[in-house]
Structure 1
């Protein structure tokens, strides 16, 4: 079974996106405050299944960080190698290996401004993954920043998490109508196509969350009859049936574009 098909099958029972968190400690030194905020942000995006920090125990200041941040229960990946980029290479290998597991992440949160990760981001996106990058002011490569589906500075985490919490609290009592959800669905597909990104279900779902704060998954969509959709696949099937979008091999396309291409 292909990875995309396994993602589709999981969506039938799992409403939350699966999140992988990978932090390059040499590039971004985590503090107790930043670690706490990063994990809050990650959990606001879905179910956090991996939370790895990559470090080199041969560097004294990096070993000390493991003890200082012990309460967060990170998985610390030690790469005690003097060769340049050894920890970076391990991070990239692990992220790509996670793709082929039964619990394949939908969203990857990368904490690093290192331009060496640009290829990783591009490869993850080609596989239908949504990539969020965090870096520090003055320590991020332009290519990495531009490639990311979302980019944020660590220094802005406090305000970012506050906004996420406000959006979630609002969504508890606020719903969007089916027709409004269709509008955001088509906008998300158009955005992905313009960026030459895959239009797989998890990717489009995450784009919709960025376009509409009230949209926190299909449970926030109200059908014309007042009922709720059970999962994203059911919502997509309804949109296809209504002639709003087209679906092919678990990717979504706009009707207008198909007509112009005919």
Structure 2
């Protein structure tokens, strides 16, 4: 699973106290928030098979018109701006942290130790996704998903959408390795089917005030090989059959970038 860690784009696991309305095709984190929904560590739980469907490259009829796209991106930018402002107001006196403050280890309300950069990134992501859910419901009802989970098989060039129930099961310790290689975009725009993707947006929250867009993250090669690894953007493009204009970053204060 692609995970954001570090100062450049301080997005960690999507935790925090906020919750956002789930669409039927959104991946959830219900196990984290409601452990009773998950089987115990000693239970034998069969992992349901995901429905295997090839991603269909969306045709022109599924693309957003310019006015709708502008409305989507303006709304997402406002969500990012507001989320950053609210968290900094609540937890840092309204001021942007310095690089030194971003590196400091802090204790979260839940007792976890992490850097201020990761903690702020988690909280900002939570608020931004709540905001995006609300705004996109009025702009693109039925044509977006919040944090859906996919698995892409490069050998067959097929992409699998995991159900919310399947994700809950796989987050249990005994199955968590099965999540390796999955991708979880923040926001997927689609034709009405989350496998017919027409655009992807990811929020990026640098800890210090950004003066330029942070780079897309990279991770380990899926096959364990060395050498250059695909960026997060490249993985999205390959999995969903998109071009570089359809996979975008949303950065507070700066806006939307490829």
Using the size of structure 1 for normalisation, the TM-score is 0.27
* Larger relative contact order (CA 8 Å, sep ≥ 6): 2
Larger Rg: 1
User: Whose helix proportion is higher, 1 or 2?
Assistant: 1
